[in-house]
Amino acid sequence: MNDKKKELNFWRILSNFWGIVAAIIFSLTFFAISDLNHLLTDITIIYLSILSIYTGLKEYNRWKSAKFMSRYHGEIFVILWTILIMVFILLSAFDKNNYKLATEFTATYLSVLGIFAISRKSKNLKS
């Protein structure tokens, strides 16, 4: 594995890890299993920063190398984040006293969508 692939793999693993951590923290907070509101802003910043670094490096490699092919599909993350936010929204709509959607979660969801859309557009322009 060359250095570029190792670097990209490192950022992909780190991005996946923080994405899972973020989803767990948001879920624990939303379902009032644990009061982790004090972590939401930091978790959001960390996850979105790492996701942005990973995506930026991936797109840079795509444009720099004629042979670059990504085997990882961002659609999976978008689908998972969409399912999670839909569950949160529906539960909040039906029981607003017990379920409150954190602003940080909405910001995370919209940022993930934006990063995915830009990456998808870059991929389409390259091909």
Reported as a single tens digit per residue, the pLDDT across 9-55 is 999 999 999 999 999 999 999 999 999 999 999 999 999 999 999 99
Cα 105 to chain centroid distance, Å, stands at 11
Return the percentage of the chain with pLDDT > 70, whole number: 94
Q: Predicted confidence band at 75 (pLDDT cuts at 50, 70, 90)? A: confident
The string of DSSP codes covering 28-76 is HHHTTSS--HHHHHHHHHHHHHHHHHHHHHHHHHHHH-TT------HHH
